[in-house]
């Protein structure tokens, strides 16, 4: 992917120098929830912010990181470029349909951090978006995991992860988040199916950004394949196989590898938000 080094971003909140201090109120129930969330991420690939866990966590002040000594300097510069481009692209896209866009903030952290509206988020959960504070959260070590554990290297694979979370931001601004949550309340038996459709829509919206990037000649040979490989590597069926369990479609929350690739490709090829209406199709 073609990108410019050395840029700055007003959309990055760097908490990597922040120290977490446990407040002593972490009970057995909280530990069980943290473990359950880890297992959900480990075997199902679920993006779950730790809502309600912030009470046992105190965040120390963030210590500035010297860029010259930052081992993650290269990836931080890349992330700044991508988040700037994502916000600018979606501002243009929504303006085309007469809608106002509010930029999202990307929070960088290590190990764990408290979100303003979704409680405590741990690295074990993976990247997540919090609709209440309109921020996305990521521990940059996830990119190493994407390469080493999931076998999905490449800068566009990393960009896909960020674009998926920003897809959730677009869904939130357009009201899809509220519609999905209300539908889950009305029909609890469809909770997982609705979650899958919601996540696949975010994959498609990531592809819409990818389409815009290709039009501006930012993509290079092999980039689309990198994105597809990343989408396939975190499909629910693939993660369940890696976890040693049987493939159980009824437990999926994000969709199969094939579904994730299909909807990412749909966004890449169409460049249209309207093409991402996963709720209106019989076949995913």
pTM for the predicted model, two decimal places: 0.87
pLDDT on residue 245: 83
pLDDT on residue 18: 85
* Tens digits of residue pLDDT in 254-282: 999 999 999 999 999 999 999 999 998 98
pLDDT on residue 60: 61
Q: What percent of the chain has pLDDT over 70?
A: 85
pLDDT on residue 67: 84
Predicted confidence (pLDDT) at residue 232 exceeds the cutoff of 80: yes
Predicted confidence (pLDDT) at residue 49 exceeds the cutoff of 90: no
**Are 219 and 275 a contacting pair, CB within 8 Å?**
no
Predicted confidence (pLDDT) at residue 210 exceeds the cutoff of 60: yes
- Identify the residue with better confidence: 23 or 175: 175
> What is the phi-psi region of residue 39: left when phi exceeds 0, alpha when psi lies from -120 to 50, beta otherwise?
alpha
Worst-scoring range by mean pLDDT, 5-19, 41-55, 137-151?
41-55
């Amino acid at each position: 992917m073609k990108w410019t080094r050395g840029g700055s971003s007003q959309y990055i909140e760097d908490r990597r120098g922040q120290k977490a201090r446990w407040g002593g109120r972490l009970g057995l129930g909280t530990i069980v929830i943290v473990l359950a969330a880890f297992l959900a991420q480990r075997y199902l690939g679920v993006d779950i912010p730790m809502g309600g866990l912030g009470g046992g966590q105190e965040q120390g002040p963030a210590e500035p990181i010297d860029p010259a000594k930052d081992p993650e300097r290269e990836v931080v510069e890349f992330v700044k470029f991508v988040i700037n481009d994502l916000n600018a692209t979606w501002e243009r896209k929504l303006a085309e349909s007469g809608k106002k866009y509010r930029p999202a903030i990307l929070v960088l952290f290590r190990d764990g951090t408290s979100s303003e509206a979704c409680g405590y988020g741990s690295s074990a959960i993976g990247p997540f978006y919090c609709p209440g504070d309109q921020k996305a959260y990521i521990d940059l070590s996830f990119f190493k995991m994407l390469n080493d554990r999931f076998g999905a290297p490449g800068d566009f694979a990393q960009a896909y992860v960020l674009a998926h979370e920003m897809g959730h931001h677009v869904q939130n601004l357009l009201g899809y988040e509220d519609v999905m949550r209300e539908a889950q309340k009305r029909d609890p038996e469809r909770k997982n199916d609705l979650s899958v459709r919601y996540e696949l829509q975010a994959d498609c919206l990531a592809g819409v950004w990818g389409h815009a990037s290709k039009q501006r000649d930012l993509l290079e040979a092999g980039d689309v394949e990198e994105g597809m490989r990343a989408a396939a590597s975190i499909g629910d069926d693939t993660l369940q196989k890696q976890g040693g369990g049987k493939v159980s479609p009824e437990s999926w929350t994000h969709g199969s590898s094939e579904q994730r690739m299909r909807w990412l490709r749909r966004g890449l090829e169409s460049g249209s938000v309207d093409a991402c209406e996963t709720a209106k199709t019989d076949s995913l």
